[in-house]
Amino acid sequence: MILKKIISTILALSMVLALSSCTKNADISGEVQSPSAAENSDNPAFTQTAKEKELYGGDERITFTIGIPKKENVTDYENNYFTKWIEEKCNVDLEFVFFSPKQDEYLIQIATIMAANEKLPDILWGVVFPDDIMAEYDNGGYFLDLNRWLKDEEFMKGYDSFEFFSNPKNCSPEDWNFYNRKNINPTDGKRYHIGEFTAGSSDDMYIKMFINESWLKALGMAMPTDYEAFVEVLRAFRDKDPNGNGIKDEIPLLGSINTCEETTAWNDPVRWLINNWVYYNENYLFNATNGRLWLPSECDEYRTALKEIKKLVDEGLLSTKIYTIKEYSELKSLYFPDEGVQKVGAFSGHLTLVSVTDHPGLYEYTWLDPFNNAPLNQAFVSAEVSVSSACQYPERAMKLLLATASREGTMVQRFGEEGIDWEEISDPIDGHTIVKTINHNAFAGITDKTWALCSTAMRNSRNPYFNRTVERKDPVREMNWDDYKSLIYSGSFTSYLEHGNRNNPTEIVKWYPYTSQERTELGTIKTEYVAFIRRARAEFLTGVRDINSDADWNAYLEQCRQIGSEKLLSISQQAYTRMKNAS
């Protein structure tokens, strides 16, 4: 039983990890304080209309506890704009129970509550359970089935989030099916969780790569369109002082392995480079040819890629800082230094996370087209909001979730306060209303405007109010900083689609319908396998292993087998074949 496994882990760690302190003086065992209703209702921005009262609230003001991983950059949850918005739209008071921001730690904290038969918070927000743990908890009766409301058309009348839950606009059937698979229990067909859905152009790219166009112009070099030309550009960046400061301080190519989220490779230049030889996306792990799965991380093309990338490292073209940088702040200081002279020729990274607001260096960069394969991320789908079966007011809790999943709720939890942090441009382009960010620091919950978790945000950048396409101006510095960032994202995404349609495999398998027995058999093999190939890749590129040695390569393949790659492949092939036969 999964819960027993977690409890044994707790015991091994001397029971419970220390909990975060909290704005409302709450932890998973402490007293909770909440603001009075009058604190918020004095603000005319938070008046509740009659329609909102009917849809989201009720005559009685009630209190909900929200269990949430506490984000360091959100210092005030009590007076947070998103908190106040929810409280007055839904006629509720919110009290917060804070968990660790780290998944492995908050899973233990939640398991501790369950093991002690203590009451869970009314709503768990931003809490993501691994599939096996989620199935265990779902079947254990810890959370409510939300389908009792979501499938009740009479109840759902009037909610603009109803359209999303029934048939979202501009969403591919594949993405929508994936969202449902992530959120619906395969055993009983019930929906115990809802979560974020994002299919946005700036996040769709598996790896984001940018190049200093000003350096290219200073050197009289053309934009590279293939790998060989790219290597020549990197050599020129290294040798010819393109930033013009007379110091040999240029870093030709940089990124970071350690800052990559589990499901993205935005900051990892190595995986971008590998795709010049073989389609490689660790999210999906397997490639498929004529109905048969295979592991690209064990093929000859993968080894060839590592040989060529090792040459970049040996020549000082790819900085080994990619393995030592651990924080976004380190990337920011290198990509956009305080002194204003750019040091990096080409880099990988998510601009929202690695750029410095209004730094003039951003205008020196543009997107770098993929040269071969262009792997995309699947739509971001999560199952991270749940209503506890101990919740005293379940229908009101569901109304609260529908409020946050509404168009307005989505905008508030993503961007902050309309008119202060963001605005809609009244003249849409091609029927798409543009969201313009006013306060860059409010965007994505960087300050105390949101909870830094878009957990019920039904965001889709291909939907009308999230397309941030802008027109390029000449010179580019006449453009707003945020508009220019959106411009190069838009261009990069278009380029990714074009190259992907032309070069990517015709079949990309994104999900496998493992049975509970298959999941049990697999255990932790996949997690251990991915961790190993990432570690071995770093060892090959830093010289710990010799990629040119057949003995070292064969030892690597043998270690893959010892971890269980053959079993992983066999069980996944079963699930894949079953899915193909059923379609």
Strand partners, 65: 95
DSSP SS3 for 396: helix
Q: What pLDDT, on the 0 to 100 scale, is given for residue 508? A: 86
Strand partners, 93: 63
Token pair for 561: 């087998």
Task: Give the mean pLDDT of the chain.
Answer: 82
Token pair for 389: 């079966």
Q: Region 415-424: what's the mean pLDDT?
A: 83
Q: What pLDDT, on the 0 to 100 scale, is given for residue 114? A: 93
Token pair for 210: 């940018």
Which of the four pLDDT bands, split at 50, 70 and 90, describes residue 65?
very high
Which of the four pLDDT bands, split at 50, 70 and 90, describes residue 431?
very low
Which of the four pLDDT bands, split at 50, 70 and 90, describes residue 326?
confident
Q: What pLDDT, on the 0 to 100 scale, is given for residue 213? A: 96
**Could you give the CA distance from residue 48 to residue 484 in angstroms, rounded to a whole number?**
37
Examine residue 242 and say whether the peptide bond preceding it is cis (omega within 30 degrees of 0): no
The CA distances from residue 431 to 160, 211, 308, 380, 419, in Å, are: 19, 32, 46, 25, 21
Residue range 464-499, pLDDT digits in tens: 333 344 454 455 556 778 778 878 887 888 888 889
Q: Which of 30-34, 123-127, 255-259 has the lowest mean pLDDT?
A: 30-34
Residue range 251-303, pLDDT digits in tens: 999 999 887 766 678 899 999 999 999 999 988 899 999 999 999 999 999 99
**Could you give the CA distance from residue 412 to residue 435 in angstroms, rounded to a whole number?**
12
**Could you give the CA distance from residue 235 to residue 52 in angstroms, rounded to a whole number?**
61
Residue range 140-194, pLDDT digits in tens: 899 999 999 988 888 988 888 766 666 555 556 666 666 776 777 767 888 898 8
101 backbone dihedrals φ, ψ, rounded to 5° = -75, -10
Q: What pLDDT, on the 0 to 100 scale, is given for residue 142? A: 94
Contact between residue 473 and residue 438 where contact means Cβ atoms under 8 Å apart: no
Q: Where are the alpha helices (DSSP H) in 191-335?
A: 201-204, 213-219, 227-239, 269-274, 300-314, 328-335
**Could you give the CA distance from residue 146 to residue 193 in angstroms, rounded to a whole number?**
7
The rounded percent of the chain whose pLDDT value lies above 70 is: 79
pLDDT of 199 > 80? The answer is no
Token pair for 241: 């002082």
Number of Cα atoms under 13 Å in the Cβ half of residue 283: 23
Q: Region 443-459: what's the mean pLDDT?
A: 74
Q: Where are the alpha helices (DSSP H) in 504-549?
A: 516-522, 525-542
**Could you give the CA distance from residue 449 to residue 89 in angstroms, rounded to a whole number?**
16
pLDDT of 115 > 60? The answer is yes
Q: Region 240-248: what's the mean pLDDT?
A: 95
DSSP SS3 for 48: coil
**Could you give the CA distance from residue 381 to residue 561 in angstroms, rounded to a whole number?**
31
Q: Which of 476, 474, 565 is nearest to 526 (CA)?
A: 565
Look up residue 473 and give its amino acid: K
Contact between residue 149 and residue 155 where contact means Cβ atoms under 8 Å apart: yes
Is the whole-model pTM more than 0.85?
Answer: no
Q: Which residue has the tokens 């010819």?
A: 240
3-state helix, strand, coil in the chain (%, to 5): 45, 10, 45
Instruction: Please state the separation of Cα 160 from the chain's center in Å.
Output: 25
Q: What pLDDT, on the 0 to 100 scale, is given for residue 494? A: 81
Q: Which helix (H) or strand (E) holds 9?
A: helix 2-12
pLDDT of 311 > 90? The answer is yes
Strand partners, 386: 124, 193
The residue among 182 and 462 whose pLDDT is bigger is 182
Q: Where are the alpha helices (DSSP H) in 116-211?
A: 131-139, 147-150, 153-156, 162-166, 173-183, 201-204
Instruction: Please state the separation of Cα 278 from the chain's center in Å.
Output: 24
Strand partners, 429: 432
Angle at which helices 565-582 and 525-542 cross, to 10°: 120
**Could you give the CA distance from residue 107 to residue 95 in angstroms, rounded to a whole number?**
20
The residue among 115 and 382 whose pLDDT is bigger is 115
568 backbone dihedrals φ, ψ, rounded to 5° = -60, -45
